[in-house]
Amino acid sequence: MHQPIAILGVSGLPEIKCGADLGALVAQALRNARTEVVARDIFVIAQKIVSKSEGRSVRLDSIEPSARAREWAEAYDKDARLVEVVLRESKRIVRMERGVLISETRHGFVCANAGVDASNVEEGTALLLPEDPDASAARIRKTLEASFGVSLAVIVSDTFGRPWREGLVNVAIGVAGLAPLVDYRGEPDSHGRPLRVTVIAVADEIASAAELVMKKKDGVPVAIVRGFDYDAREASGLELIRAPELDLFR
Amino acid sequence: MHQPIAILGVSGLPEIKCGADLGALVAQALRNARTEVVARDIFVIAQKIVSKSEGRSVRLDSIEPSARAREWAEAYDKDARLVEVVLRESKRIVRMERGVLISETRHGFVCANAGVDASNVEEGTALLLPEDPDASAARIRKTLEASFGVSLAVIVSDTFGRPWREGLVNVAIGVAGLAPLVDYRGEPDSHGRPLRVTVIAVADEIASAAELVMKKKDGVPVAIVRGFDYDAREASGLELIRAPELDLFR
């Protein structure tokens, strides 16, 4: 048998406020719990606490909804100010039908409501995605590496829906120190013939694995994935976005 | 800290032939490696070995391609017989452009090439998805539960692409003994307000977690996910398919 992979939930973080040094708080929570950190551990951090620490919260009473936002909100019983925030965070609308708003965010992610979240945040506010999730991941990585004196990788994750399949899955939106895609193209299969396209989105799979211990409701916004043999290079979560010209579903 | 989740790769299986009792072979491999099996372990089994054991292999020289298959194959330098197999396995074509064929399989899965695989299989053959992946999972579960005398869950997995994001991820196509979706709708968030839609596709996340130890090229077609607290009910992988009338991308 091979070395198993372990997924550890990290809890005991305080409520995250604007300006919080997330890396330092995670390090402190681990020390409090006497949890060891091992070289090449992958930290998966929920977008929500990253956004909170970066002050990506918007007060809805400061938002003047456009006519388009008001119309949509009225048709589908939504908060027009929230719809307005979603439209402002969107570079392009992919679908806006039957109460579902799928758009491309400024970063290029295609997801529902441009990643804007109004649940589990302060009443009357909405939480935006981090401005630059790769930079967020890199910052947290730097603090954690300095705290523990080992090389680490960090993924900032969010739960996205997907076409054709029910339910959300956790995916990587920001990455530091880990190649998000592993390319098996061209390597021979076990019959010695070249494999066809087999590029695996390991960063998304790691984020999904982490979600199994995070569980939205239980206050476990950080997980450690240990034992996965990854390519520790400089990288970006944007590598996981399919180029629009190659995408048949935009 | 919470109980960690462990992901164990199971190797040491022989080459799987038509008629093989997959559950018995997996049990034997675990005994050979002296790997313990624990109640509520989740076994994730790669579709490829399930299909092989069920004889879902098609000899391409037995296939007479239709005009449509020949035309498509010629335009994109593909094997017309393979295209014909894909078309026959498809209930409906979702996209057929730029050399990419996305269709809805007989089961209802939307994926590339109707899940038909020509890599890592015997030369001149193509491998189809299992006829009924839930039944495959249930059969393997029954054998494993009888072998080890504990309650278990089984997921049959395959790697699927997705719109908007690069790379494939492992998903669940057949399920036995585990609710594939966990519904957090209506449960209050940490501010006491009801959460909005938060249904997590845990079976897909478990399949993705398993892929991290499976690694296509390394001959680890089975993984055990241990320590995830799931709802052990009768279930189906078809629950993961979004109803066509609710799907904005078909």
CATH topology of domain A58-127: CofE-like fold (3.90.1660)
Question: For B115-134, b where at least 16 C-beta lie within 10 A, e where not — what string?
Answer: bbbbbbbeeebbbbbbebbb
Written as one letter, the residue type at B164 is W
**Token representation of residue A179:** 């190649």
Q: Are strands B42-46 and B153-162 parallel, antiparallel or unpaired?
A: parallel
CA distance B64 to chain A (A): 23
Give residue A53's pLDDT band: very low, low, confident or very high (50, 70, 90): very high
> Contact B143/B28 with Cβ under 8 angstroms?
no
User: Which position has the higher pLDDT, B193 or A4?
Assistant: A4
Number of helices and strands in chain A (H, E): 6, 12
Q: Residue B121's pLDDT is what? A: 80
> Contact A47/A165 with Cβ under 8 angstroms?
no
Q: How many CB atoms lie within 10 A of CB B161?
A: 18
User: In this prediction, what percent of chain A has a pLDDT beyond 70?
Assistant: 93
Classify the C-alpha dihedral A101-A105-A106-A108 as positive or negative.
Answer: negative
The helix or strand, by DSSP H or E, that contains position A183, with its residue range, turns out to be strand A182-183
Among A163, A143, A146, A104, which Cα is nearest to A23's? A143
Domain boundaries, chain B: 10-53+130-241, 58-127
Instruction: Check CB contact of A6 with chain B, cutoff 8 Å.
Output: yes
Residue B142 CA neighbour count, 13 Å, CB half = 8
Q: Could you report how far apart the first and last alpha carbons of chain B are, in Å?
A: 43
Among B222, B238, B203, which Cα is nearest to B46's? B222
CATH class held by domain A10-56+131-241:
alpha beta
The helix or strand, by DSSP H or E, that contains position B96, with its residue range, turns out to be strand B90-97
Q: Residue B215's pLDDT is what? A: 74
CB < 8 Å to A6, chain B: 4-7
> Would the CB atoms of A162 and B167 count as touching at under 8 Å?
no
Q: Residue A109's pLDDT is what? A: 97
Instruction: Check CB contact of A36 with chain B, cutoff 8 Å.
Output: no
- Please state the rounded mean pLDDT for residues A223-235: 97
In the three-class reduction of DSSP (H, G, I as helix; E, B as strand; rest coil), residue A96 is classed as strand
Q: Residue B186's pLDDT is what? A: 60
CB-nearest to B220 from A2, A97, A220 is: A2
Mean pLDDT of chain A: 93
CB-nearest to B169 from A120, A168, A201 is: A201
Residue range B10-53+130-241 in CATH 3.30.565.10 = no
- Please state the rounded mean pLDDT for residues A18-36: 97
pLDDT along chain B (250 residues), means of 10: 87 95 98 96 97 97 96 93 96 91 96 90 92 98 98 98 96 98 73 68 98 82 97 97 89
Which runs of E-coded beta strand occur in B11-89? 42-46, 57-59
Pairwise CA distance, residues A74 & A117, whole Å = 19
Pairwise CA distance, residues B221 & A61, whole Å = 54
> Contact B162/B139 with Cβ under 8 angstroms?
no
A169-208 pLDDT per residue, tens: 999 999 999 999 998 765 566 666 555 568 999 999 999 9
What is the 8-class DSSP label of residue A178?
A: S
Written as one letter, the residue type at A20 is A
Query: Does residue A9 have a pLDDT over 60?
Result: yes
pTM: 0.95
Q: Which residues contact B102 (CB under 8 A, 6 or more apart)?
A: A248, B93, B94, B95, B96, B110, B111, B112
Q: Residue B250's pLDDT is what? A: 80
Note which residues in 182-241 of chain A have CB less than 8 A from chain B.
Answer: 184, 187, 189-191, 193, 195-196, 198-202, 204-206, 208-209, 211-213, 216-217, 219-220, 225, 228, 239-241
> Contact B44/B210 with Cβ under 8 angstroms?
yes
A75-122 pLDDT per residue, tens: 999 999 999 999 999 999 999 888 889 999 999 999 999 999 987 788
Pairwise CA distance, residues B95 & A202, whole Å = 26
Q: Could you report how far apart the first and last alpha carbons of chain A are, in Å?
A: 43
Question: For B65-88, b where at least 16 C-beta lie within 10 A, e where not — what string?
Answer: beeebeebbeeeebbbbbbbbbbe
Classify the C-alpha dihedral A247-A164-B219-B36 as positive or negative.
Answer: positive
User: In this prediction, what percent of chain A has a pLDDT beyond 90?
Assistant: 82
CB < 8 Å to B204, chain A: 165, 167, 169, 208
Q: Which residues contact B116 (CB under 8 A, 6 or more apart)?
A: B82, B85, B86, B89, B126, B127, B128, B129
Among B180, B143, B184, B174, which Cα is nearest to B22's? B143
Among A41, A32, A49, which Cα is nearest to A7's? A41
> Contact B137/B176 with Cβ under 8 angstroms?
yes
Q: How far is CA A232 from CA A83, A146, B167, B218, in A?
A: 39, 17, 18, 20
Distance of CA B90 to the CA centre of its chain: 17
